[in-house]
Structure 1
Amino acid sequence: MGLVFLRILEYYPGILFLTTNRVGAIDDAFRSRLHLTLYYPKLVEKQSIKIWKNNIKKLKEVNEHRVSRGQLPIKYDKNEIIKWVELNWENLQWNGRQIRNAFQTAIALAEFKAQSRKSSKRTSQDPPSPDPKSSKPPVLNQDTFLLIAEASNQFNDYLLQTHGQDEEATASRDQMRPANFKMKPTRIKRVESSESDTNSDSSGHSDSGSESDESDDAGPSDSDSGTEKKAKKAKKAKKGKKAKAKKSKDKAEKVKKDEESLGEGEKKKKKKKKSEE
């Protein structure tokens, strides 16, 4: 099963997002197939409050859906909830999933309390009021979230007494993730670009182009036959001979010119002596 998953992961034609908090369980074969890895640190207070505000905004959509079904909208006070979060953030330190679950649980509790109030009115001796305005809407306030937070903390304390250490220490012991991870400064170096480098790069491109042309002209390919190789070798040898002959000819002409210039210098010296006499 693992091999099938790795094969699908390698040849999957789209984008696949994988999240885990057990990074230590990833082996080298799995890691080599990950194109991009991102580390998400714990939420700071500012990020956490932003997630709370986003979930509060979603309550508008929930209320619109409730009204379309003929139900009363949920009553809530945004400022009261945010102040409660700022006051208890250090003790809670919930992640994004826990905040979303807390909102879903809070809405369910608010609806349950509203329904229980209706049922208690129906069982009383007073006749039911036909006016829907008389029924109270679900209320989402700090008391609802306080109840959820206390239940969550009680369960965390139970797990702490069971394992003898908290979740982070257990994960560190099992080599799943470090308890306190600190990012080290990058050791990857950059190439410092300058004008000389750009000039050398441009000249290098031209030189490599000329060399590639010469190699294409002179170098034999694998598909050439034996006769073509011999012909190319002979051409190359002729070119070498011509180059040598040209070199020696240029050298002889230079020597001749030097001798002529020396002879003219001696003639000038003799004329000078005669004129002085």
Structure 2
Amino acid sequence: MGTADGSPGTAEKYLQSVFSLSGIWDRTVLLDEAEAFLERRSLNDLKPNALFSVFLRVLVYHDGILIVTSNRAGTFDDAFKSRMQLALDSKKLDRRQQRQVWRNFLNHLLSLRAGDIDYDDVECYVSELAEYAINGREIRNSIATALKLAQFKGEEQ
């Protein structure tokens, strides 16, 4: 959870400060990849149970917006799920959607003028790339890796 010692007391103070600042600044809190401490509790491991209890206790007093992301929302503890007001599930991208995501990331690179990229050449592969069943994060990572590799190869020459 980003606390120095990982103790429930430290986590509680940290969460209280995050939620307090979000209220002062009128901002939304994003808890990315929340499964780390919102999964179903077990009798075998008490530390995650303590962190979960701290989170629920602090959450009760938060009157702002909290967005939680997870790849495994189905494993969330029922005590947390009962406090959610809206749950959205993202389905797998179809080929048309994947092509659009590829194009969106490529257009973003173009707007940044990132490197010496022949965008027309890359664009002709978008339909072929969309045949691979990958999600938006994997597409973003693929483009970032390809850009770094191209930059590295350009430096070698």
Specify if TM > 0.5.
Answer: yes
Answer yes or no: is the 8 Å Cα contact 2:106–2:119 preserved in 1: no
Aligned mates of 1:88, 1:75 — CA distance in 2 = 17
Aligned mates of 1:9, 1:85 — CA distance in 2 = 43
Structure 1 residues 76 and 8: CA distance shift in structure 2, 3 A: farther
Answer yes or no: is the 8 Å Cα contact 1:51–1:96 preserved in 2: yes
Aligned mates of 1:13, 1:105 — CA distance in 2 = 40
**Greater shift in the superposed pair: 14-23 or 33-42:** 14-23
Match of 1:42 in 2: 92
Match of 2:111 in 1: 61
With a CA cutoff of 8 Å and minimum separation of 6, indicate the structure with the bigger relative contact order.
2
Aligned mates of 1:58, 1:42 — CA distance in 2 = 22
Larger radius of gyration: 1
* CA RMSD in angstroms, aligned pairs only: 1.8
Match of 1:14 in 2: 64
Alignment partner of 1:87 is 2:131: no
Match of 2:80 in 1: 30
Aligned mates of 1:58, 1:18 — CA distance in 2 = 26
| Structure 1: segments with no counterpart, 5+ residues | 67-72, 118-277
Match of 1:99 in 2: 139
Alignment deviations for residues 74-133 of structure 1 (CA, whole Å, 9 cap, x no partner): 22233x33332312433x11100001111111110111011000xxxxxxxxxxxxxxxx
| Structure 2: segments with no counterpart, 5+ residues | 1-50
Alignment deviations for residues 210-240 of structure 1 (CA, whole Å, 9 cap, x no partner): xxxxxxxxxxxxxxxxxxxxxxxxxxxxxxx
Alignment deviations for residues 157-187 of structure 1 (CA, whole Å, 9 cap, x no partner): xxxxxxxxxxxxxxxxxxxxxxxxxxxxxxx
What is the DSSP-based 3-state SS (H/G/I as helix, E as strand, rest coil) of the residue aligned with 1:74? coil
- Of 75, 98, 102, the residue aligned with 1:52 is 102
Match of 1:77 in 2: 119
Q: What is the TM-score normalised by the length of structure 1?
A: 0.36
Match of 1:236 in 2: none
Greater than 4 Å deviation, 4+ residue runs: none
Q: What is the TM-score normalised by the length of structure 2?
A: 0.61
Task: Kindly tell me the number of residue pairs found equivalent between the two proteins.
Answer: 107
1:149-168 map, 5 Å: none
Structure 1 residues 83 and 101: CA distance shift in structure 2, 3 A: same
Aligned mates of 1:21, 1:27 — CA distance in 2 = 14
Deviation at 1:29, TM superposition (A): 0.5
Query: Percent same amino acid at aligned positions?
Result: 38
